[in-house]
Structure 1
Amino acid sequence: MVLAKSKKSVGLGNQLMKDRFGKGKGADRKRVGAVTRIDHSTGQEYITNDRAEAGWVKMRSVTEQGALDEFLATAELAGIDFTAEKTNNVRIIHTDQRNPYLLTAAEERVVLGKQKALKSRLTVPRRPHWDETTTPEELDRLERESFLQWRKGLAELQETQDLLMTPFERNLEVWRQLWRVIERSDVVVQIVDARNPLMFRSEDLEAYVKDVDPKKENLLLINKADMMTFMQRKAWAKYLKSAGIAYRFFSAHLAKEMLNAQASESEEEEEEEEEAGPSSSGAPLKPEEANEESRDDVGGEGAQQREDDNELDTRILTVSELEEMLLQYAPKDAGPDRKLQVGLVGYPNVGKSSTINALIGAHKVSVSSTPGKTKHFQTIHYSDKVILCDCPGLVFPNFASTKAELVVNGVLPIDQLREYSGPATLVAQRIPRAFLEATYGIQIRTRPLEEGGTGIPTGDELLSAYARHRGFMTQGLGQPDRSRAARYILKDYVNGKLPYVTPPPGVDDAQEFNRELYDISHLPAKRQAAVTAAMEELTVNGDDNASLLSDMVPLPQGPKSEKLDKAFFKAGQGSAGHLSRPFNYKYTQQGMAEAEGKQLSGRKLRTMIALEKGIDPKDVQMASGKKHFKGGRKGRGKRRGNVVDGDD
């Protein structure tokens, strides 16, 4: 029986139209506002939609844009119209020989030479001149024009010279925060990462500070100096001092630990005084002494080197020493009521907020491991004499060899990473294989030398070993999830779990420069006990100071070659050097079972025993009682049932 058509039912086409153009739909396509712009080439006016954006969108850090997004942003700054054209730009990448996202040694030397010649053209945007007669509209127009010319100059430098540049900050609002910080500050402190100070330093920023006011001073504060050994700090101090750069070493992590230790000691002393009265055990440690005790010599130097570490050039400053040093930059002609204003500038995730927290001794500035946490410059009254100005972290224009270098230096966010093979390969090249295996408790399988291997694990080999160890597998095929493993390893590298310090210019052997970093003391606490126990078993002649990065001569052959040679030249056989089975026999089920040492039985076992004893296998078959091994010539007559013709 055919039912009547329901009046409430709606066809598929009507439902789609209703869902698209129904009530309340298409609000995003409505023209909510309009802006009148002028085409400077023709002088005609045209109307375009004004995008309604939230307040946080304007301050959003933009460090990397696609070709289309960069073109649209440039057109918006210029206020001109454009015409789109479709082009065909296809690039084929071969990954069988080397990682296409990294440079070879020869290519890197050429790029570094070209970067050194054109380094003077890397500038920061200047704020146009203004005074009290300048209106806000005029200042905004001048700032946009100046910023547009600056971006065009960098784009021309990148295109004409065929150089890769860092994804510098492209948001004008972020640069405006920097301009305000420079204009207000008496001394501008560039906070850089100790693992690569020159990467995070902007020379043109120091020149711009002097252009604004020659009385302003610059200071390079090398944070995270606890990740360096004494010899590394000494090498960097020698280079910076010869270059005439004002610098100081600092560690926000050590300063925080010192403050926590002092707070706990003061609480314990108060409890002891309340219980047993004044203590006669001795005076409490001074901040300098507490910092010296809390800071270990990461390289394992003796007492003489600890005395040398007290020198100002290589010493890691305490909080009180840093405050006294900043007060030396106070203007001499300032009044008694004027406070010293210190501007803190630097790349994202170099520790600006952590430095302020260490200075004030409380969590006043939000801290995050994601680059670009601070969005506006913050003014903090540190004391009666000092005011701190924290500028949002921004990426200054600089030359870069590869984008992988920016990722491992913490400039680009790892969670937004798309291409992971380049950064992972860079980590595998910098960190020794033994230290990686000891840190994660894994075994990295590399290609043998005779099969084209280099002895250094590739990025895919490192990621595959880590993914199998952690159980990171893809859905469906069950292959190692290298993308997920790369995020864990890269975050460990950026956070300092995998230590590495870039050598200063003039030091070519980076492996020898970082040799002292790869000992047992730099392993995680959970891995130190296991590695120490294993090293005690392998210790020879009481050498307890054995380094994981020892001078070990690699084996001439890999395990695969040794296995093939052992089977090919097997002893005890007259046919040595000749294969008795096909080459692919070991990949069959029988060959795999034989390789695993499966026990033979039956006639196969008797045949094997006969061959080992030099007896003919046919004699063993004749002595057997089974019908399958009966010898003798068979009759040639026709069979009639079970009787052969010719039998009686």
Structure 2
Amino acid sequence: MPPHRKKPFSAKQKKEQLKAKKERKRQRTQHDDDSPNSANNGSEEDTDVLKLNEQPANITEKGYDPNRYRLHFAQDTKKAINKRKEEASQPLTFLPEEALELDTDDVYRPGSVLDMPKRPPWRHNMSKHELLSREEAYFKRYLDDILAQHRVDELSYVELNLETWRQLWRVLEMSDIVLLITDIRHPALHFSPALYNYVTRDLGKALVVVLNKIDLAPPALVVAWTDYLKNKFPELHIVHFTSFPKDSTERNEDPRKAINKRRKGAYSAMGPQQLLQVCEEIVQGQVDLASWHRDMVEDSAPDTGDATGSEVKVEHEEDFSYKAHQKYRDGVLTIGCCGYPNVGKSSLINGLIGRKVVSVSKTPGHTKHFQTIFLAPTVKLCDCPGLVFPSLIPKPLQILAGIYPIAQVREPYSVVGYLTQRIPLHTLLRLTHPNDDAPGEGSKWSAYDICEAWALKRGFLTARVSRPDVYRGANSILRLAVEGRLCLCTRPPGYTVHKECWELHPQTREIAELQEYHRRSVGCPSDLLAELSQESDGEEEEDSEDEGEEEEGGLATQNPFLLLADD
């Protein structure tokens, strides 16, 4: 029986939950009116902590708090939100491709106070109360130092939940190899140099960076990011990875049956063999990895339709024992998985095992607690909840990277504007300007116009007066971007100037062949943008679409994301 099985949630309990939520909101509003903001350098508005993904407190067994590791972000002030709304109505300035180039030094400012929080020194004879009190005091000083030099509105979203940082500290301590999972679309955003220095220098352990979701980026960009990370961080080991659930459902099958199949279905992944080779290189024979290799060969056998396989041991841990790390304890290799929310840590584990063993979701912060999975008798994986390191990246880019839950975004229009400035949404989505009958090359587009035009195209209307539901249109565009249908890929420094060289690089063809092979094995995802563009379009637009595909040399049939990636 899986742990923490949900119990029935009655309507009475739901009413009590809503009542408590209203009471907290009332107290927060009263606090905003009565107290000054000491953390915002004299601002009149209060920057409260926004707690996301709240779960009912009484749905699980006694003693387990489902909200212990939820995301904690600094709440945006009303003044900042109103300012972004005003900017969203201004005409947009479209930026060149160089605007997508991103360096890790610009994001994290190495050597500054934005360094990651580290566990303070501790001794084995400390009591639990003494240890937790020391960590709380240290974390409070750490946040105070950051807020003393940076205003809240210029800081990016950063994890403010100490419990989640404790999870990371424990994973780093008990692991022999640390896996840092990053999204290939935003590696500079997801790779913290402070974590690299802490793992390789302070802890003296190997750090493996997994460039996940490589099917969402052009092969040349994958090679360029790999070269950039290897040259700047020489002690890194880099693995290319992507994972998909195998689609064994039929088109006319009942959707409810299809969902049940996918819940326990098989996973197909590209990259487990490369990860095994890297681990063998690091371990150098000190741990027997033959069982891992044998299980991988069995998983690569032809699919017989049985997704149950052998039993996988999954342990959920709540309290931790603070023990000194012993390398390869009991002949078992411990691999710790960490990274930002929504980069695919749980999907990577499912891909390594070959079937679903941990829950996955598109909502950031879905993994709520530390869990241990035995990949093989001598290989143990530790999955840590995703957390956000302190940085100075624009908040719209964090939202587009899937770090912040889209359903919780209070002002999505400026994020759509940030996206439109870098990829031509009005062209890709074939939008008509709301104030003009002609397609919008010559029209002056604003972020609000993009959202309104998309709402009209998709038929998003308000209930009573049937006006365009602009908020829903903006929300829909953001979800397309996070899912990879609208492909916003950042570039390493200097990529635009040497783009042709990267496209002709020998490894580029190898990555392209791997992507195509994996795409054929799991079934290529449907081109959602093509389906959306065909709706409500006439025959003239369909003819122009066919001509456009011929001019691109058939790229749309090979990879539905390549046309979007080439801005």
TM range (shorter): 0.5 to 0.7
* Residue 482 in structure 1 maps to residue 470 in structure 2: yes
Residue 248 of structure 1: SS of its match in structure 2? strand
Change (3 A) 1:499 1:335: closer
- By how many angstroms is 1:421 displaced? 0.9
CA distance in 1, matches of 2:87, 2:159: 35
Aligned residue number for residue 196 of structure 1:
186
Alignment map for 1:105-184 (pairs within 5 Å): 115=106, 118-121=109-112, 122-159=114-151, 164-184=154-174
Q: 2:273 aligns with which of 293, 315, 320?
A: 320
Aligned residue number for residue 29 of structure 2:
none
CA distance in 2, matches of 1:138, 1:155: 26
Kindly indicate whether the alpha-carbon contact (under 8 Å) linking 2:346 and 2:383 is maintained by their aligned counterparts in 1: yes
Alignment map for 1:91-490 (pairs within 5 Å): 93=83, 115=106, 118-121=109-112, 122-159=114-151, 164-210=154-200, 212-214=202-204, 216-245=205-234, 246-253=236-243, 256-257=245-246, 317-330=270-283, 337-401=330-394, 403-433=395-425, 436-437=428-429, 442-444=431-433, 457-490=445-478
Percent of matched pairs sharing the same residue: 30
Aligned residue number for residue 501 of structure 1:
489
Aligned residue number for residue 506 of structure 2:
none
Q: Counterpart amino acid of 1:189?
A: L
Kindly indicate whether the alpha-carbon contact (under 8 Å) linking 1:339 and 1:387 is maintained by their aligned counterparts in 2: yes
CA distance in 2, matches of 1:153, 1:336: 38
- By how many angstroms is 1:123 displaced? 1.3
Change (3 A) 1:461 1:148: same
CA RMSD of aligned residues (A): 4.7
Q: How many aligned positions are there?
A: 415
- By how many angstroms is 1:463 displaced? 1.5
Change (3 A) 1:522 1:67: closer
Aligned residue number for residue 63 of structure 1:
72
- By how many angstroms is 1:60 displaced? 3.6
- By how many angstroms is 1:164 displaced? 1.7
Residue 423 of structure 1: SS of its match in structure 2? helix
- By how many angstroms is 1:462 displaced? 2.0
Kindly indicate whether the alpha-carbon contact (under 8 Å) linking 1:349 and 1:410 is maintained by their aligned counterparts in 2: yes
Aligned residue number for residue 43 of structure 2:
none
CA distance in 1, matches of 2:450, 2:79: 33
Comparing 322-331 and 231-240, the one that deviates more: 322-331
* Residue 534 in structure 1 maps to residue 542 in structure 2: yes
Change (3 A) 1:153 1:391: same
- By how many angstroms is 1:238 displaced? 2.5
Change (3 A) 1:61 1:103: farther
Q: Counterpart amino acid of 2:337?
A: L
Structure 2 unaligned spans of 5+: 1-22, 25-56, 59-63, 251-266, 287-326, 504-511, 513-524, 557-561
CA distance in 2, matches of 1:434, 1:420: 17
Q: Counterpart amino acid of 1:135?
A: S
CA distance in 2, matches of 1:478, 1:513: 52
Alignment map for 1:551-566 (pairs within 5 Å): none
Change (3 A) 1:411 1:97: closer
- By how many angstroms is 1:227 displaced? 0.9
Q: Counterpart amino acid of 1:244?
A: F
Change (3 A) 1:474 1:205: same
Kindly indicate whether the alpha-carbon contact (under 8 Å) linking 2:104 and 2:188 is maintained by their aligned counterparts in 1: no
Change (3 A) 1:57 1:148: farther
CA distance in 2, matches of 1:492, 1:117: 27
Residue 154 of structure 1: SS of its match in structure 2? helix
CA distance in 1, matches of 2:484, 2:87: 31
Residue 329 of structure 1: SS of its match in structure 2? helix
Residue 220 of structure 1: SS of its match in structure 2? strand
- By how many angstroms is 1:472 displaced? 1.6
CA distance in 1, matches of 2:81, 2:271: 53
- By how many angstroms is 1:426 displaced? 2.1
Structure 1 unaligned spans of 5+: 1-26, 29-52, 69-87, 265-290, 295-315, 551-648
Change (3 A) 1:343 1:100: farther
Alignment map for 1:613-628 (pairs within 5 Å): none
Kindly indicate whether the alpha-carbon contact (under 8 Å) linking 1:195 and 1:227 is maintained by their aligned counterparts in 2: yes
- By how many angstroms is 1:58 displaced? 5.5
